[in-house]
Amino acid sequence: MSLTNFPNGVTSFGVPVIGSGGQIPSSTGSYFFVHSGTGNAGNAGKTTKKPMATIDQAINKCTANKGDVIIVMPGHAEVLGAAGAITADVAGITIVGLGVGTSRPKLTFSAATSTFIISAANVTIDNLYLDMADTVDAVAQAFDVGAANCTIKNVDVLMSTVTYQATSCIITDVNCGNLKVLNCKFLAPDVGANEAINLTGVTDGVEIKNCVVAGDFAVAPIHNPTGNVLTNLLISDCVLKNDQAGDFALELVSASTGFLVRNFYHTSALATAVDPGACFSLECYACHGVDKNGLLTPAVDS
Q: What does the DSSP assignment read for 160-185?
A: B-SS-B-S-SEE--TT-TT-EEES-E
- Range name among 5-14, 109-118, 128-137, 153-162 with the lowest pLDDT average: 5-14
pLDDT cut 90: percent of the chain above it: 88
Residues 58-90: tens digit of each pLDDT: 999 999 999 999 999 999 999 999 999 999 999
Phi, psi of 103 (to 5 degrees): -85, -5
pLDDT at 18: 47
Cβ atoms < 10 Å from Cβ of 157: 24
- Whole-angstrom Cα distance, residue 262 to residue 236? 6
CA gap 258, 280 in Å, rounded? 6
Give the torsion sign (CA, 259, 263, 267, 273).
positive
Compute the average pLDDT of residues 161-179: 97
d(CA 302, CA 294): 19
pLDDT: which is higher, 276 or 290: 276
Per-residue pLDDT band for 290 (boundaries 50, 70, 90) equals: confident
- Give 120-166 as a DSSP string: STT-EEES-EEESSSS-S----SEEE-SSS-EEES-EEE-B-SS-B-
First to last CA, the chain: 57
Q: How many residues does this entry show for the chain?
A: 302
User: How distant, in Å, are the alpha carbons of 18, 128, 171 from that of 34?
Assistant: 18, 13, 26
The Cβ of residue 171 has, within 10 Å, a number of other Cβ atoms equal to 23
Task: Report the distance separating Cα 292 and Cα 289, nearest Å.
Answer: 6
In this prediction, residue 4 has a pLDDT band, given cuts at 50, 70 and 90, of low
- What angle is formed at CA 211 by the lines to CA 207 and CA 214, rounded to 5 degrees? 130
pTM of the predicted model over 0.85? yes
pLDDT of residue 39: 98
Query: What single-letter DSSP state applies at residue 102?
Result: G
**pLDDT tens-digit readout, 22-68:** 789 999 999 999 999 999 999 999 999 999 999 999 999 999 999 99
- Please report the pLDDT score of residue 279 as a whole number: 98
Mean pLDDT of the chain: 94
Cα separation, 84 vs 91, whole angstroms: 16
Distance CA 172, CA 188 (A): 20
Spatial separation of the C-alpha atoms in residues 273 and 151, rounded to whole Å = 27
Select from 218, 221, 192, 197 the least CA-distant residue to 207.
197
Closest CA to 197 of 240, 260, 255, 133: 240
Which residues sit opposite 52 in a β-bridge?
A: 34
Q: Which domains does the chain have, with CATH numbers?
A: 64-296 (2.160.20.10)
Q: What are the Cα distances from residue 126, in Å, to 23, 182, 245, 274, 286?
A: 8, 9, 33, 29, 30
pLDDT tens per residue, range 238-251: 999 999 999 999 99
| 119 has a pLDDT exceeding 60 | yes
- Say yes or no to pLDDT of 178 above 50: yes
